With several copies, the nearest count.
Chain A
């Protein structure tokens, strides 16, 4: 099942992301992946859930729980550092997009390529949307993409639908908890 893009006019094409209706799907994908990566943009630090929490806090929880390398885009690294979390790397959204198309590359240098990318919070829906489009056509042989952003991103393999802030937080929480449970086992 597909959904509609948040920015209504950003129509992708015939192939659209499968809508993630249950957050467990994400945890399962991460667990099964050989070399997942998490890409986090500046919106993760800009948006506030209204309870003092921001998406970046969940990113950190998820990254820790699943031991996924995190790449911070734009100047988001500063926000991670403020939270005492050192991302594996920081680079521009364009750079990480570009490198993910390279089957010989991995952010840690080990075990390339990445076979799963979780993407969240890249500023500007359209920019994120376009980078995912680049991945769709130029990394499809080795990489699956999952948007865990607030909005539906049709160019990914999987994506949340358009969510309210509350539901988004609920989903991020569920993913984190799920993975944390997994780790404990």
Chain B
């Protein structure tokens, strides 16, 4: 709908009397008790100084994925070894530009998703539908929106204003990627941070909208346990598989089932974030698994109808659906798949065409209609379809494996370099275990099966899935449904212990399925829950965490409580729920520490960076969204660890703990510069192994504000894990021990000896009131 701006004093009464008009007035800031801080709706330049402060500590180490740039027709340009492109660009600027492009795509994806979802929900529930994310338990409903935009949203309609701001900023950011714009890599990085901040605002708006309108858990620590795993799907029923991130079509599928009494007769399951979100709406829905399970589940032929919306959908989904005679319904113009747009056709006609096989699929851009069609088609075709599509039997696997000539081509194109030829050799001899073992390390990308790869036309992934048949059927786990935000009262309870360091940290497992193995997610979650960290998770990581049982046969969600407290394991929700994690950090600053929130990004980030021991870990980070989500954490000064594939994001942000001069803060009480050690040491950090990640997590949770008790606890975990995995004491303890009281009691002698060797001296000011912002000095230093 278009609108026109007019000055209020031009507003005649006639116009006011007209119906159906919407007016917007300059936001009455008084409606929110806090007066705005210095930076409402920051643009690219506003927070640059803050970014530069962080980037001075955490310098980019660029990892050029390609020596070349080919972004404009003057290229390709070789930028390696000091060369510049035809536009003058150097390698550092190009790498940071690509990071910005990636983050702009990521932020755009969430913002577009938010915009689309909110528009649909407004249409259904009205612009004035109130926001409710906590059923009274959450007063601070939108920490990002309030912090960044100064808007306190009260209705769905308010969320549109927030998204509009995000759109404007993303367009500016994207334009910076154009040939002949920014030339300085650090300024590109600052723009990357801006993209990340915007992304969290947009994601937050998106999740707030769906929590407020659908029947989602509302900040509920006791969100129900739901089923996850291929083995949980009842293959005797008609099966509808939803894939993507935009939940309305899935909700409408379920609502249609319910209205028609089919709740127990049709199986509704999902992959990726739509799966997470539909299980927030109804416990009857099931999660198949993360992205890596997409193709193998589709190929199993279990799904009769596949409904895709947007994001993280295999782009060959139509081909794959056709291979197993499943019907494909696209519900979003972001992914037409070349299907005819049948949104305006009569429902019966569409159903007929799909059931009769006249069309392999249809695009239906209306959730309700798509919901009805999906259910009716599934019910109609299920009896006719042969389930278990194209998964081979053992004998077939062995026969196939015999044809392998050990050329290694499949291995050499596998992102994880999996030793397929070895496994083939064993399989040819009848031993299918090595093949089945690859399953845990396979991301299901089927590059190994791509045209021309295997000279003998073998299909390694298919054979591997076949060899894992039994294991796959046993994939039956429980995951706690995505709870949404953290309650204000939870924040009040843990704020102190976290800031003082007594809860050793918040560990956030987020992101996608491009990992060297999935088990790591659960191992990390378990390790740190046991150690009384708060473990929070979203998206594919939250799913993967569930797909592993501990010695007692429990998943982490069953073994640990769902509260935001020491030892809790929380599924926060889908990708767009990530801002509840960063938001928790913001809320600690706002609710617990009572820092001004409204339009006050710099101060809040300064608080979070120096005091809130949180670390993100994305073991399988894959997407552009993952990069923009990470960058939203960076701007708040929260470090992010990624699995090895994450090095392909083209740069790390690394501190240099060996440079003392980098690790000073200002003591806000005195204005004095105080050395606080490398806390946290890195801002973006790809690791080689899960062992390395385990050791880095507690280390990256240290903060200048830690009390001696808190520091001792964190050091204890760090040193303990280091000894366990590295077989020795860390070599940098002296950088983290400020006073003798910081030393974990049980390790006192050992550490004191180490410190002596290093010539360590006690800090004169071990507990400053740390800040990087001179304006926060309360007593200006004299002289």
Residues of A within 8 A of B (CB): 6-15, 41-42, 73-75, 77-79, 81-82, 89-90, 92-95, 97-99, 101, 105, 122-127, 130-131, 133-134, 136-138, 140-141
State in angstroms the CA–CA spacing of A138 and B62 once bound together. 8
- Interface-facing stretch out of B323-331, B604-612, B644-652: B644-652
* B692 contacts across to A, CB distance below 8 A: 74-75, 92
A14, A78, A122, A127 — most chain B CB neighbours (10 Å): A127
Nearest residue in A to B80 (C-beta to C-beta)? A137
State in angstroms the CA–CA spacing of A90 and B728 once bound together. 11
* B161 contacts across to A, CB distance below 8 A: none
B57-98 interface mask toward A, CB cutoff 8 Å, 1 = contact, 0 = none? 001011111111000000111111110000000011000000
Which of these, B75, B644, B652, contacts A98 with CB under 8 Å? B652
B631-661 interface mask toward A, CB cutoff 8 Å, 1 = contact, 0 = none? 0000000000000110110001010101000
Which of these, A41, A98, A136, contacts B81 with CB under 8 Å? A136
A122 and B688 form a contact (CB under 8 A): yes
B689 and A130 form a contact (CB under 8 A): no
B667-688 interface mask toward A, CB cutoff 8 Å, 1 = contact, 0 = none? 0000000000000001001111
A124 and B644 form a contact (CB under 8 A): yes
State in angstroms the CA–CA spacing of A48 and B22 once bound together. 72
Given A13-B67, A95-B654, A134-B64: A41 and B688 within 8 A (CB)?
A: yes
Which of these, B64, B686, B725, B727, contacts A137 with CB under 8 Å? B64
B63, B78, B654, B682 — most chain A CB neighbours (10 Å): B63
B63 and A134 form a contact (CB under 8 A): yes
* A7 contacts across to B, CB distance below 8 A: 412-413, 417
B688 and A11 form a contact (CB under 8 A): no
Given A8-B78, A89-B731, A140-B82: A134 and B62 within 8 A (CB)?
A: yes
Interface size class of B (residues with CB under 8 A): 35 or more
B647 and A140 form a contact (CB under 8 A): no
B686 and A94 form a contact (CB under 8 A): yes
* A105 contacts across to B, CB distance below 8 A: 658
Nearest residue in A to B92 (C-beta to C-beta)? A138
State in angstroms the CA–CA spacing of A167 and B417 once bound together. 20
B686 and A136 form a contact (CB under 8 A): no
* B92 contacts across to A, CB distance below 8 A: 138
Nearest residue in A to B685 (C-beta to C-beta)? A94
* A13 contacts across to B, CB distance below 8 A: 66-68, 78, 80
State in angstroms the CA–CA spacing of A169 and B17 once bound together. 86
A136 and B80 form a contact (CB under 8 A): yes
Q: Is B333 an interface residue (CB 8 A)?
A: no
* B412 contacts across to A, CB distance below 8 A: 6-8
A138 to chain B, nearest CB (A): 6
State in angstroms the CA–CA spacing of A70 and B662 once bound together. 26
Q: Is B394 an interface residue (CB 8 A)?
A: no
State in angstroms the CA–CA spacing of A122 and B648 once bound together. 15
Q: Is B125 an interface residue (CB 8 A)?
A: no
B685 and A75 form a contact (CB under 8 A): no
A9 and B77 form a contact (CB under 8 A): yes
A130 and B688 form a contact (CB under 8 A): no
A95-B654, A130-B648, A131-B647 provided; 12 other pairs, C-beta below 8 A?
Answer: A8-B78, A9-B413, A13-B67, A14-B80, A42-B689, A94-B654, A99-B658, A101-B61, A133-B65, A133-B67, A137-B81, A137-B82
B731 and A127 form a contact (CB under 8 A): no
Given A74-B688, A97-B61, A137-B91: A12 and B67 within 8 A (CB)?
A: yes
* B78 contacts across to A, CB distance below 8 A: 8-9, 13-15
B80 and A126 form a contact (CB under 8 A): no
Which of these, A78, A89, A137, contacts B62 with CB under 8 Å? A137
B467 to chain A, nearest CB (A): 23
A75 and B695 form a contact (CB under 8 A): yes
* A127 contacts across to B, CB distance below 8 A: 644-645, 647, 686, 688
Q: Is B726 an interface residue (CB 8 A)?
A: yes
* B64 contacts across to A, CB distance below 8 A: 130, 133-134, 136-137
* A10 contacts across to B, CB distance below 8 A: 76
* A77 contacts across to B, CB distance below 8 A: 726-728
Q: Is B691 an interface residue (CB 8 A)?
A: yes
Q: Is B196 an interface residue (CB 8 A)?
A: no
Q: Is B238 an interface residue (CB 8 A)?
A: no
24 contacts between A and B (CB under 8 A): A8-B413, A9-B413, A11-B68, A14-B67, A14-B78, A74-B692, A75-B725, A77-B726, A78-B726, A92-B696, A93-B688, A94-B682, A94-B686, A97-B63, A98-B652, A99-B656, A124-B516, A124-B644, A124-B688, A126-B648, A127-B644, A134-B61, A137-B62, A141-B82
State in angstroms the CA–CA spacing of A141 and B80 once bound together. 12
* B75 contacts across to A, CB distance below 8 A: 9
State in angstroms the CA–CA spacing of A38 and B689 once bound together. 20
The 6 closest A-B pairs by CB, nearest first: A13-B67, A78-B727, A130-B63, A74-B688, A98-B61, A75-B691
A91 to chain B, nearest CB (A): 9
A98 and B413 form a contact (CB under 8 A): no
Given A9-B77, A130-B647: A81 and B688 within 8 A (CB)?
A: no
* B61 contacts across to A, CB distance below 8 A: 94, 97-98, 101, 134, 138
* B413 contacts across to A, CB distance below 8 A: 7-9
Nearest residue in A to B723 (C-beta to C-beta)? A78
State in angstroms the CA–CA spacing of A126 and B412 once bound together. 11
State in angstroms the CA–CA spacing of A12 and B68 once bound together. 8
* A131 contacts across to B, CB distance below 8 A: 63, 647
A82 to chain B, nearest CB (A): 7
Which of these, A9, A78, A126, A134, contacts B68 with CB under 8 Å? A9
* A95 contacts across to B, CB distance below 8 A: 654
* B648 contacts across to A, CB distance below 8 A: 126, 130
B654 and A15 form a contact (CB under 8 A): no
State in angstroms the CA–CA spacing of A99 and B652 once bound together. 12
Given A6-B412, A11-B68, A42-B688: A126 and B727 within 8 A (CB)?
A: no
Nearest residue in A to B417 (C-beta to C-beta)? A125
* B68 contacts across to A, CB distance below 8 A: 9, 11, 13-14
* A99 contacts across to B, CB distance below 8 A: 656, 658
Nearest residue in B to A140 (C-beta to C-beta)? B81
* A41 contacts across to B, CB distance below 8 A: 688
A85 to chain B, nearest CB (A): 12
A120 to chain B, nearest CB (A): 13
A145 to chain B, nearest CB (A): 12
* A74 contacts across to B, CB distance below 8 A: 687-689, 691-692
A168 to chain B, nearest CB (A): 14
* B696 contacts across to A, CB distance below 8 A: 92
A133 and B63 form a contact (CB under 8 A): yes
State in angstroms the CA–CA spacing of A105 and B64 once bound together. 22
* A133 contacts across to B, CB distance below 8 A: 63-65, 67
State in angstroms the CA–CA spacing of A93 and B59 once bound together. 16
A134 to chain B, nearest CB (A): 5
* A138 contacts across to B, CB distance below 8 A: 61-62, 91-92
* B409 contacts across to A, CB distance below 8 A: 8
B258 to chain A, nearest CB (A): 47
State in angstroms the CA–CA spacing of A93 and B79 once bound together. 24
B143 to chain A, nearest CB (A): 31
Given A41-B688, A123-B689, A130-B647: A11 and B727 within 8 A (CB)?
A: no
